[in-house]
Amino acid sequence: MTLNPRNRKARDIELEVSEPATGRVEFPLIGTDRKRVEGLDVACIIPLLQACPGDETESLFACADRTRKGFVGDSVHIRGIIEFSNYCVRSCMYCGLRRDNRKLRRYRMTPDEILAASENGIRSGYRTIVLQSGEDPYYSASDIARIVEGIKAFGDVAVTLSVGERPRSEYATMKAAGADRFLLKHETADAELYRRLHPGASLETRIECLQNLKGLGFQVGSGFIIGLPGQDIATIARDITLLKELDVEMAGIGPFIPHPDTPLASYPAGDVTMTLKALAVARLALPHANLPVTTALSTLQKDGRQLALSCGGNVIMPNITPAKYRELYEIYPDSASLKDPEDGGIGEIAGMLKAVGRGVSATKGDTLPREKRPIPARDEASFQ
């Protein structure tokens, strides 16, 4: 299997799916189909993404829900996210934090502020703290390492980092300090589209970073955006197969939301149903993965959390950034996370989960290594 994106041009994908896509998957989904999706078949994924409104889509969602239940159970992992800097050296065409957006007032939290916010989160019941920022070299790897050590000293919690591309040696410093997980979305698996949307960057480097992180022992999360201008359904299928090839432990899939101060301001938002379908197929392809309900989805759809939880999702990541900084972390406008209570509102989430037959996980929510994963009983999984 090759991961070099240069070997996989959009045209190759089109060739792979040039046979009539429909009719290859029977709805309602039964075992063989799910097995084929798990087996990384782009041509099988496309008709799933094309499921018609009504019975077909419901069948896909139900299949993903059974798979989720069988492989990762009913508990939902709650991770508190702290957006500690909105400075960014990148100029991604879709993102409000892009360097060229001069309208945004920038902030950086001090290490003490980050530790205080983490401690508050842990006191409120969080067992994972996610530290996210724009790509901001102001914080050296050893700065981040010291913050990770500080958080780890508060108790038995996991730390997830989401700080962008860095050299392998810097990732190693962060890992040695105790960081458990790392999120770095591949954003789009189409190398040409990636190049156009991320000036000066490449999908190849992105994948190299993900492989470095994996090699260092991080639980790795990737993910992608639905509805980027220039994306088509074959790209989304390829996004999902790339997740599988990278063997990620986590994957965030969210819709594009236009930001007025970016070059993509006038493009339409991504489709909520397509986002849910991609999430559902990702669950079939990666049955053991931790799949969050993305904030972007909740921003476009009021009951986004509940919907995504019923289509394969098993993680919620409330914002626990101090209120004074939140509005400034404007990746896109009107983020649903602005409404999260400052303590992240675990109590309210627990109530919502109970109402939909789910519960808050009592564990840190690590993905088990392959050899330790239980094999779900046949009737618990989605084979029928």
* Binding-site member from 5, 254, 313, 376 for ligand 5AD (CB under 6 A): 254
The residue type found at 308 is A
Q: Strand pairing of 158-162 and 292-293? A: unpaired
Residue nearest to ligand 5AD (CB): 95
Does residue 257 interact with ligand 5AD by CB under 6 A?
yes
Does residue 94 interact with ligand 5AD by CB under 6 A?
yes
Interacting residues of 356 by C-beta distance below 8 A, sequence separation 6+: 306, 309, 310
User: If you ran DSSP here, which 8-state letter would residue 246 be given?
Assistant: H
Does residue 243 interact with ligand 5AD by CB under 6 A?
no
Q: How far apart are CA 31 and CA 67, in angstroms?
A: 11
Name the minimum Å distance from CB 18 to ligand 5AD.
29
- DSSP codes joined into one string, 302-330: TTHHHHHHTTT--EE--B-S-HHHHTT--
Comparing CB distances to ligand 5AD, the nearer of 259 and 305 is 259
**Cis peptide, bond prior to residue 47, ω within 30 of zero:** no
Name the minimum Å distance from CB 264 to ligand 5AD.
7
User: If you ran DSSP here, which 8-state letter would residue 53 be given?
Assistant: T
Q: How far apart are CA 381 and CA 27, in angstroms?
A: 17
Comparing CB distances to ligand 5AD, the nearer of 97 and 172 is 97
Interacting residues of 220 by C-beta distance below 8 A, sequence separation 6+: 181, 182, 183, 184, 210, 213, 214, 246, 248, 249, 250
Comparing CB distances to ligand 5AD, the nearer of 166 and 185 is 185
Does residue 164 interact with ligand 5AD by CB under 6 A?
no
Q: How far apart are CA 264 and CA 257, in angstroms?
A: 9
Does residue 95 interact with ligand 5AD by CB under 6 A?
yes
Name the minimum Å distance from CB 55 to ligand 5AD.
30
Does residue 308 interact with ligand 5AD by CB under 6 A?
no
Does residue 210 interact with ligand 5AD by CB under 6 A?
no
Comparing CB distances to ligand 5AD, the nearer of 27 and 94 is 94
Q: How many helices (H) and strands (E) does the chain have?
A: 15, 10
Give the contact letters, 287-306, x = binds to ligand 5AD (CB under 6 A), - = no: ---------x----------
Binding site for ligand 5AD (CB under 6 A): 94-95, 185, 187, 225, 254, 256-257, 259, 296, 331-332
